[in-house]
Structure 1
Amino acid sequence: MQQIRQYFENFTPMSDDDWDAFSSKLSRKSFAKKELLLKAGQIENHLSFIEKGIVRYYIPKEENDLTFAFSFHHSFVSAYDSFLTGQPSVYQIEAITDTIVWSITHKDLQNIYQTTSVGNLIGRHAAEENFLKKSKRELSLLNDSAEELYLNLFTEQPQLIQEIPLKYIASYIGITPQALSRIRKRIS
């Protein structure tokens, strides 16, 4: 849990009282590799911080799932659109590796916003991180080749990308696993 405090204190100092109020609302959850954090059709009720692990966001399809995002350790994970609107998610979130998260419910987060001096900063930072990740992904899809998409993912998390199955990476960049193998061979 100390990792979370350090993460937040990178952008705003937290008093012990604020930290105690916030951390008392967090719950630790462990997910095994391949376990779902959220299933399509469920309403997201948690904003979570990944202490350890990798998750993928995907739309389940009969033949091949469509992976559209990954979250790595020391970042947030949530079906944030569902979290904000209270509407069922159209996608799933799955642990790619054994994963540990610290979660806060929507209700508890609203309470933190109202009762602490840094609550709104924490919420704003989480929202900004999610927005920036989504904007970067959209721009990358519009501007970058499949090879550039792969290299961007590789440079962001080089030590972790080796833990992501190639079929998920291929789906993420919109190509077949065979085309990804050709790209990997060409750049190695």
Structure 2
Amino acid sequence: MEEIKKFIDHIHPMNTTDWDFFSSKLYRETVKKDATLINIGEVENYLSFISEGIVRFYIPQEESDLTFGFLFENEFITAYDSFITRTPSQYQIETLTNATLWRISYQDLQEVYQKTESGNAIGRRMAENMFLIKSKREIALLSKTAEERYLDLFRERPNLLKQIPLKYIASYIGVTPQALSRIRKRIT
């Protein structure tokens, strides 16, 4: 739980009383590789902090899934649009490795917002961070080549990329696995 405390303190320091209340609402869950965290049509009920592991966001397709996001250790994960609107998710989230998550329910998070001094500030900063990640991805898709997107991903997470199947990386950068293979040959 220490890593989530460090992450939150980096966003906005929590006093001891707020931290004690917030941390009392968290529970630890260990999840196996390839576990589905949310399916299409389900309402997201949890905000989770990845203590260990890698997850992906995707839309299942008949021929191949459309992967549009990866999250790694020390990041929060949720189907955020479903979480805040309380409507069914239009995508799925699954683990790509064994994972350890610290989770808080929607109801408990609302209570943290209401009963702590720093809960709302932290919630706002996390929402802003999620927006920046989404915005960066959209701008990259519109303004960079597939090779540039691959190199960006490789620069940001070189060791972790070794754990992600190439077909998911290809889908994420918007190319076929064959095109990704050609990109990788060009840059090595």
> Over residues 124-146 of structure 1, what are the superposed CA-to-partner deviations in whole Å (9 max), with x where a residue is unaligned?
12211211110000000000100
How far off is 1:113 after superposition? 0.7
| Superposition CA RMSD, Å | 0.8
Aligned pairs (5 A) from 1:57-72: 57-72=57-72
What does residue 76 of structure 2 align with?
A: 76
Look up the equivalent residue of 2:180 and give its one-letter code: L
How far off is 1:74 after superposition? 0.5
SS at 2:94 equivalent: strand
What does residue 107 of structure 2 align with?
A: 107
SS at 2:8 equivalent: helix
SS at 1:152 equivalent: helix
Q: Do residues 159 (structure 1) and 159 (structure 2) align?
A: yes
What does residue 52 of structure 1 align with?
A: 52
If the length of structure 1 is used for normalisation, what is the TM-score?
0.98
> Over residues 38-62 of structure 1, what are the superposed CA-to-partner deviations in whole Å (9 max), with x where a residue is unaligned?
1111100111111011100000111
How far off is 1:12 after superposition? 2.1
Aligned pairs (5 A) from 1:85-104: 85-104=85-104
The runs of at least 4 consecutive aligned structure 1 residues that moved more than 2 Å come to none
Cα distance in structure 1, aligned partners of 2:67 and 2:43: 19
What does residue 13 of structure 1 align with?
A: 13
SS at 1:24 equivalent: helix
Q: How much identity, in percent, do the aligned residues show?
A: 57
What does residue 143 of structure 2 align with?
A: 143
Q: Do residues 27 (structure 1) and 27 (structure 2) align?
A: yes
Aligned pairs (5 A) from 1:116-135: 116-135=116-135
